Amino acid sequence: MSEHPDCALVRRGYEAFAKGDMETLGRLMTADVIHHVPGSGPMSGHHKGREAVLDLYRRLGEETGGTFQVRPEAVLADGRGHVMSFHTARGDRGDRGIEIRAGLFFTIIGDKITDIDECTEDIEESDAFWG
């Protein structure tokens, strides 16, 4: 049984993110993609447009001295353009570290990611880490 194409698309995104391959990540998204980050920290908010989303991903690396990583645990599709992924994120920032479970809810149209809603198991911990 082969993987659903929407799941394969999201997995390619995780692989590109792990390599810091912003060019590949950008090709997986529409020009008007939005990534919604919960909480009230400096990374929180609605990052609108491909360049803004890629800048968010670059900042994750810069703010953690390149230590930020995500380890995918599950990728699930509904066959109607929605994918849920679950992962563990970890990184170090200054004298603080984080290891936290999180998830992303993707909307996919025409084989491109158009919307990413992020959830985390502990918004306060995430805000404290990035704050």
**74-117: pLDDT as tens digits:** 999 999 999 999 999 999 999 999 999 999 999 999 999 999 99
Residues 6+ apart with CB under 8 A from 28: 9, 12, 13, 16, 112, 113
Are the CB atoms for 88 and 101 separated by under 8 Å?
yes
Q: For residue 2, is pLDDT > 90?
A: no
**Backbone torsions φ then ψ of 66, nearest 5 degrees:** 80, 10
**β-sheet bridge partners, residue 119:** 103
Average pLDDT over residues 7-22: 97
Dihedral sign, CA of 131, 114, 29, 12?
Answer: positive
Q: 1 pLDDT exceeds 80? A: no
Q: Which pTM does this prediction carry?
A: 0.95
